[in-house]
Amino acid sequence: MTDTYAVEARDAVKEFGQGAGAVRALDTVSVAIRQGEFFTLLGPSGCGKTTLLRLIAGFDSPTSGTILLDGQDITDLPPNRRPVNTVFQSYALFPHLSVAENIGFGLEMLGRPKAEVEQRTAEMLALVKLEAMAGRKTAQLSGGQQQRVALARALAPKPKVLLLDEPLSALDLKLRKEMQGELKRLQLETGITFVFVTHDQEEALTMSDRIGVMSGGRILQIGSPREIYARPTNRFVADFIGETNFIPARIRGGAAHLAGGVELKIGQSRADGAATLAVRPEHLRLVPQGMAGALSATVSHSVYFGTDSHVHLKLLDGTELVARQQTDPDGAGEPKPGAVVGISFAPGAVQVLED
């Protein structure tokens, strides 16, 4: 591993339109993606993730800021001079070319000898398991096969970085699961840095080495899937990824004070003042009412999901919470609506948010 990053964006700003009507799609984004990493840009639509990808590919140029590839400033290079390839959301396969011609297109444009183009095309066809389809026109392929051709076409020129713009969103659920595994396999086999754009949190969690969560043109948090899920630093990240309970609290002297005089030790050092605590539903424990250190809550209702059930609760101050509980075979432990119970949580499960 070298000490330069595969891709870097430094203070990248992208505005569309001019003057007062300008829309800021990217707001001073800085991110450094490591060599050989599977990096995911995750966020809702309109968060700027595709804009950032287009800046790296060179389809758009930043209003200000720089884009670096392997430590080299490529901000002003046109897309055809960047050793970066893209898998498009719509695949964008050339309809007038065969599968093999599509895959060989990049190398041919680079002026590589015919023998090399053919050999590499054959390798890529084998890699995506489409040897039998080499002569077909792309319109004759299924969605999943077109997806593979798009991948092979983008990987054939051995790019330094592969950009993937929501490549799985057009596939049905079963095929998407299959392609997730396939993508991960290709990334490990080729060792190429993948920058993957998605709005699907599950996709991001299962595939990525690191995730950058985006909203409103900014990157809010960068970290491993575990860090992002277990240690969200702000409310948006906590809310966007998985389900979360938010509990208002007051920080005083290194402890969080909750309604009803409950005090919780927190791991992080925080300035005194109002704060929001985030706790995942699976980390809430229902205990007998009145137990020391437990919050009092009323059960509103519970929803049975098979392996677990979601118990909806209301704190005394009106805050609504959801606790996820494993179900008993006979349903004996199910709390009844209207029952008053205690809630406890391990201090490690509680995350103090920035906002």
Partner 1 sequence: MANKAFSVSRLPGFSTMALLVFAALYLPILMLVLYSFNSGKSVAVWEGFTLDWYARAWANQQVKEVTVRSLVIASCASVVATVAATMAALGTTRRKAFKGQTFIYVMINQPLMVPEIVTAVALLIFFASIKVATGYQGLGYLIAAHSAFCIPFAYLPIRARLEGMDLTLETAAADLYASPWQTFRRVTLPLLAPGMIAGLMLAFVTSLDDVVITVFVKSAGQDTLPTYMLGQIRRQVTSEVNAISTVLLVLTVVLLTAFFFLTRKKD
User: Which H or E element spans position 102?
Assistant: helix 99-109
Task: Name the segment binding partner 1 (CB under 8 A); options: 85-93, 126-134, 254-262, 319-327.
Answer: 85-93
86 counts as binding partner 1 under rule CB under 8 A: yes
169 counts as binding partner 1 under rule CB under 8 A: no
Q: Which of 5, 38, 39, 105 binds partner 1 (CB under 8 A)?
A: 105
109 counts as binding partner 1 under rule CB under 8 A: yes
Q: Which of 62, 106, 212, 342 binds partner 1 (CB under 8 A)?
A: 106
The strand pair at 340-344 and 295-304 is best described as: antiparallel
- Cα separation of 324 and 327, whole Å? 9
H-type helices in 24-78, by residue range? Answer: 49-57
Report CA 167 to chain centroid distance, whole Å: 13
Query: Which of helix, strand or coil describes residue 229?
Result: helix
DSSP 226: H
Q: Which of 2, 18, 80, 326 binds partner 1 (CB under 8 A)?
A: 80
Helices vs strands, H then E, count in the chain: 8, 20
Query: What does the block give as tokens for 119?
Result: 């050999």
Which is nearer to partner 1, 85 or 302 (by Cβ)? Answer: 85
- Cα separation of 70 and 6, whole Å? 5
**Per-position x/- string for 30-59, each x denoting binding to partner 1 as judged by CB under 8 A, each - no binding:** ---------------------------x-x
90 counts as binding partner 1 under rule CB under 8 A: yes
Which is nearer to partner 1, 109 or 126 (by Cβ)? Answer: 109
Query: What does the block give as tokens for 82?
Result: 């960047």
Beta carbons of 11 and 68 less than 8 angstroms apart: no
228 counts as binding partner 1 under rule CB under 8 A: no
Query: Residue 272 CB, nearest distance to partner 1 (Å)?
Result: 52
Query: Residue 93 CB, nearest distance to partner 1 (Å)?
Result: 8
Q: Which of 13, 32, 77, 92 binds partner 1 (CB under 8 A)?
A: 92
- Cα separation of 88 and 80, whole Å? 16
Residues 6+ apart with CB under 8 A from 71: 4, 5, 8
- Cα separation of 334 and 308, whole Å? 11
- Cα separation of 279 and 258, whole Å? 13
> Within 133-152, which residues bind partner 1 (CB under 8 A)?
139
Task: Name the segment binding partner 1 (CB under 8 A); options: 22-30, 77-85, 215-223, 270-278.
Answer: 77-85
Query: Residue 205 CB, nearest distance to partner 1 (Å)?
Result: 28
Query: Residue 112 CB, nearest distance to partner 1 (Å)?
Result: 10
13 counts as binding partner 1 under rule CB under 8 A: no
Query: Which of helix, strand or coil describes residue 152?
Result: helix
Q: Which of 16, 22, 94, 301 binds partner 1 (CB under 8 A)?
A: 94
Query: What does the block give as tokens for 242?
Result: 């998985």
| Site residue total, partner 1 (CB under 8 A) | 24
Which is nearer to partner 1, 110 or 126 (by Cβ)? Answer: 110
Binding site for partner 1 (CB under 8 A): 57, 59, 78-81, 84-86, 88, 90, 92-96, 105-106, 109-110, 139, 153-154, 157
